[in-house]
């Protein structure tokens, strides 16, 4: 095969085949058992020894080039037929495909985020029973019976002589923890709590609470403010600001409420924050010395702060849910949005 013949063969293969059948005919013509190249290769053996090497190399070279040309032509023709498949076997590239993906409960997502934040700040997550005694739920926290402070947390009671109750707050977990651990302490206790209250758009009789407690030497109200500032920044964004307002809880002194700048309007004032630019998010305070004394921590040496907040409320604000009862209604049309 002369160089000119080879060139013509390559051109023929590259452009002369209109379909796979024509290409196959060409392939057989050159590479088939009786093909031109095959015969040429076979003929090499009959040549004088001195010519064999050069002729063999040339024939092999030609075979390689023709094979490559056939492969390239095959890909070209395949490309044409793949493009045609757009008509013969069409796929709507924009059509949706069902995703068998479930959904985490929005409050549980928020709890997870909170726990991650507190872990990064060195807090231990502590769990405790939901059925409590009056001692742990009330008396250990300075909420004596026959005092109107009890009315702040309307309580369910259980039948039976033990005077047990579904806890109204997760603070009993803190008392139990302080009974078995010595300062320095840094914990949060997320969990469900129960209140015998009428339900409305901002109250349900069962809800989650996340309470935190820090006890160490020299812990101050400024530490409380700084800690909650960081927590709120972690949760709501790094430009969040906080403010404290005076409040009253029997188990803290001083007691405060903490507001954070509204995440909807960035503190400009909107419907969510009733125009104030602030969201009321937490109750907190410096642990009352009597609470420390009861768990045998010396209030002259140690001080601490405690705080508590409701993830439902934060989730409601964050996701724009107008009614917290939605979280407790297992409505899949609601839950699939999270």
Partner 1 sequence: MKIPADWLNQFLSKPLDTRELAEALERAGVEVEKIEYAQALDKLIVVGLVKKVVQHPRADSLKLTQVDVGGRILAIVCGAPNVAVGMKVAVAPVGAKLPDGMEIKAVSLRGEVSQGMLCSARELGLSDDHSGIMVLDPTLLLGTTLCDIWPASDILDVTTAMNRSDLTSLWGLSREVAAQSGRRVMEPQAGELPSGEAPAVKLAAGKRVRRFLAVRLNLPPVGPSPAAMQKRLAASGLRPINAVVDITNYVMWEYGQPLHAFDAAKLNLPLTVRSARPGETLVTLDGQRRQLTEQDMVVADQTGPVGLAGVMGGAGTEITTATSAIILEAATFSPAGVRKTALHHGLRSEASSRFERGLPTQLPPLALARAVQLLQEWAGAEVVGGVADIELDSDKATRVVKASATQVTGLLGLTLSPSRLRTELNKLDLATTTVGDNLTVRVPWWRPDLTMAADMAEEVVKLIGYEQVPSTLPPWRPVEVEFDNYSDLIWQIKDRLVGLGHFEVATYAFVSARQLQQQGHKLQRHLQLRNPKSSEQAYLRSDLLPSLLDAAARNQNYAKRFGLFEISRVFTVNGKTSGPTESIHLAVLVRDDRLAYAGVKQVLDLLERELRVELTVAPQVHPALHPARAARVKLGTAAIGWIGEVDPRLLRPLKLDGAGYIELDLEQLVAAARPPRYQATNPYPPVKRDITLLAPRRVGWVEIERATRVLDLAKVTFNGDYYGSELPPDTKTITLRLELSASDRTLTDTEADERVVKLVHHLEKSLGISLRE
Q: Which is nearer to partner 1, 81 or 239 (CB)?
A: 239
Residue placing its CB nearer to partner 1 in the complex, 39 or 181: 181
| Cβ within 8 Å of residue 230, ≥6 positions away | 121
Give the residue with the Cβ less far from partner 1, 77 or 229: 229
| 104 counts as binding partner 1 under rule CB under 8 A | yes
Query: Does residue 135 belong to the site contacting partner 1 (CB under 8 A)?
Result: no
CA distances for 239 relative to 260, 265, 313, angstroms: 10, 12, 20
Tell me which stretch binds partner 1 (CB under 8 A): 30-38, 61-69, 98-106, 262-270.
Answer: 98-106
Q: What is the 3-state secondary structure (H, E, C) of 107-131?
A: HHHHHHHHHHHHHHCCCEECCCCCE
- Residues 30-59 close enough to bind partner 1 by CB under 8 A: none
- By CB under 8 A, is residue 188 in contact with partner 1? no
Select 309 or 327, whichever has its Cβ closest to partner 1: 327
Instruction: From 10-18, 52-60, 80-88, 226-234, give the range in contact with partner 1 by CB under 8 A.
Output: 226-234
Answer whether 45's CB lies under 8 Å from 38's CB: no
C-alpha distance from residue 252 to each of 46, 221, 296, 299, 322 (Å): 108, 11, 17, 13, 31
In the complex, what is the shortest distance from the CB of residue 235 to partner 1, in angstroms, rounded to a whole number?
Answer: 16
Say which DSSP state 203 is in.
Answer: B
Residue 318 touching partner 1 (CB under 8 A): no
Site for partner 1 in 241-280 (CB under 8 A): 242-248, 250, 253-256
Least CB distance from residue 9 to partner 1, whole Å? 42
Burial of 108 (0-12, 13-18, 19+ CB in 10 A): middle
Nearer to partner 1, 52 or 243 (CB): 243
Who's near 281: CB < 8 A, 6+ residues apart?
232, 258, 259, 260, 309, 313, 314
Site for partner 1 in 144-163 (CB under 8 A): 146-149, 151-152, 156-160, 162
The residue range among 40-48, 69-77, 82-90, 118-126 that interacts with partner 1, by the rule CB under 8 A, is 118-126
Query: Does 227 sit near partner 1 (CB under 8 A)?
Result: yes
CA angle 71, 74, 77 (to 5 degrees): 150
CA–CA dist 311, 317 (Å, integer):
10
Give the pair of three-digit tokens for residue 336.
Answer: 């699939």
């Amino acid at each position: 095969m002369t160089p000119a013949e080879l060139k013509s063969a390559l051109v023929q293969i590259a452009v002369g085949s209109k379909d796979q059948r024509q290409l196959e005919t060409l392939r057989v013509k050159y590479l088939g058992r009786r093909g031109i190249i095959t015969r040429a290769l076979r003929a090499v053996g009959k040549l004088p020894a001195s010519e064999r090497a050069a002729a063999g190399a040339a024939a092999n070279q030609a075979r390689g080039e023709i094979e490559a040309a056939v492969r390239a032509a095959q890909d070209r023709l395949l490309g044409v037929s793949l493009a045609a498949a757009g008509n013969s076997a069409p796929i709507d590239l924009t059509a949706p495909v069902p995703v068998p993906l479930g959904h985490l409960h929005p409050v549980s997502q928020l709890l997870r985020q909170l726990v991650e934040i507190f872990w990064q700040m060195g807090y231990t997550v502590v769990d405790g029973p939901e059925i409590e005694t009056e001692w742990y739920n009330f008396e250990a926290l300075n909420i004596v019976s026959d005092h109107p402070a009890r009315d702040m947390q309307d309580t369910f009671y259980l039948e039976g002589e033990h005077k047990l109750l579904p806890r109204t707050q997760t603070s009993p977990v803190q008392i139990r923890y302080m009974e078995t651990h010595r300062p320095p302490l840094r914990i949060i206790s997320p969990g469900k709590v129960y209140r015998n209250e009428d339900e409305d758009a901002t109250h349900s009789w069962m809800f989650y609470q996340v309470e935190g407690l820090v006890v160490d030497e020299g812990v101050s109200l400024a530490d409380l403010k700084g800690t909650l500032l960081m927590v709120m920044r972690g949760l709501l964004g790094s430009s969040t600001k906080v403010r404290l307002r005076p409040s009253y809880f029997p188990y803290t002194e001083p007691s405060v409420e903490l507001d954070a700048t509204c995440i909807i309007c960035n503190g400009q004032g909107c419907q969510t924050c009733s125009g104030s630019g602030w969201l009321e998010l937490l109750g907190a305070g410096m642990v009352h010395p009597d609470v420390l004394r009861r768990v045998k921590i010396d209030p002259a040496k140690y001080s601490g702060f405690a705080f508590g907040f409701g993830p439902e409320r934060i989730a409601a604000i964050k996701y724009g849910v107008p009614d917290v009862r939605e979280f407790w209604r297992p409505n899949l049309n609601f839950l699939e949005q999270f």
